[in-house]
Amino acid sequence: MIRQFIQKNWFYLLVLLFALVFPVFSPSRYVFHIVIYCCIFSIATLSFNLILGYTGQASLAHGGFFGIGAYAVALMTLKGGLNFWLALLLASLISAFIGFLIGLPTLRTKGSYFAISTLCFGVIVYIVAGAWIGFTGGYTGLRRIPPPTPITLPLVGQISFTTPTAQYYLVLAFLLFTLWAMHRIVFSLQGYSFIAIRNNENLAEAVGINTFKNKLLSFVVSNFFVGMAGGLYVGIMRTVDPTTASYTTTFNYLIFLLIGGVATLAGPVIGAFGVFALLEYLHALGHYRMVLFGALLVVVIIYLPRGVMGGLTTLRAKVDVYYQQRKDGAQRAIKG
């Protein structure tokens, strides 16, 4: 059984092994920060994938909920003096609860109406974050936010999250937890209900699935995880401003998801790492980098409409068919 698991998932296990030993290669502080950013954005994109990719609801408030989680942690630790871990949990729950309140009216709409209503909420979050100077710091934002509280582990001792290595392992642990949670959700009866709603909402209702409650649950869970990502972002970067909650953040996650592959677990991670790293690599081109990136994006969407993971799945299927045909041909030649 273990051997079959390794044979089936050997590539993902190699990626996990590389991720665990990554700090051994002693990359620069800049590279560490890029990878840490990518891990946090992967968590946010995975949560976006749950509501959009698996449930089929185009929520455009994801950046707003990311900002809610970020500001909640910042305010509770900076002004409230709370422990970071308690603040992170509360911020995730606050994001989920606000998502519940917003989802009650908006999820009764469908299609573009739902997308526009959630986009409006995201814009409201951005405006409030910039206008409420006495509470959020206005467009200047909040600075000198306390880092994650040190923890003590058996056989390891106290871990302080002030070094790039410790911060990397922290966000990696949360990314792995998010992947595990999404896998458990997607491949459960609840996940199959989400997929049924995505495929045909009317048919799902006809077979007895409560589509509204399931969409609301998916929306709430998605916002819990993106709020958690926002809280992690603040704990690592120790600063937050309204751009964190802007609608451009939502569209960044959408691009990550489309390029990586919608309705796949690896796609959001591939998209977040690939796109963000590419944008940083092209940073020296200044404003021209967006022109080049836009051209690359168009090419990917045309030739890989299902994203990188969809393209890899198609390629793997063709390779399997090719080798099966060769095997069948060899067997016929032997018999002949």
> For 251-298, what is each residue's pLDDT tens digit?
999 999 999 999 999 999 999 999 999 988 888 788 888 888 888 888
User: In the chain, what percentage of residues exceed pLDDT 90?
Assistant: 75
* pLDDT value for 322: 82
Alpha carbon distance 69, 245 (integer Å) = 9
φ/ψ (deg, to 5) at 240: -150, 145
> For 137-188, what is each residue's pLDDT tens digit?
999 999 999 999 999 888 778 899 999 999 999 999 999 999 999 999 999 9
Q: How confident is the model at residue 1 (pLDDT cuts 50, 70, 90)?
A: low
Largest CA distance in the chain: 86
* pTM exceeding 0.85: yes
Q: Is pLDDT larger for residue 318 or for residue 41?
A: 41
Q: Is the dihedral of CA 300, 263, 54, 169 positive or negative?
A: negative
Task: Indicate the domain borders of the chain.
Answer: 28-290
User: In the chain, what percentage of residues exceed pLDDT 70?
Assistant: 99
Whether 155 and 96 have beta carbons less than 8 Å apart is answered as no
As a whole number, mean pLDDT of residues 36-54 equals: 98
Does domain 28-290 bear CATH number 1.10.3470?
yes
Q: At what angle do helices 307-335 and 266-281 cross, to 10 degrees?
A: 120
As a whole number, mean pLDDT of residues 93-101 equals: 99
Q: How confident is the model at residue 336 (pLDDT cuts 50, 70, 90)?
A: low
Residue in the structure block whose two tokens are 């910039």: 130
| DSSP H/E element including 91 | helix 84-106
As a whole number, mean pLDDT of residues 63-73 equals: 98
> For 192-210, what is each residue's pLDDT tens digit?
999 999 999 999 999 999 9
As a whole number, mean pLDDT of residues 33-41 equals: 96
Count helices and strands (H / E) in the chain: 14, 4
| DSSP H/E element including 22 | none
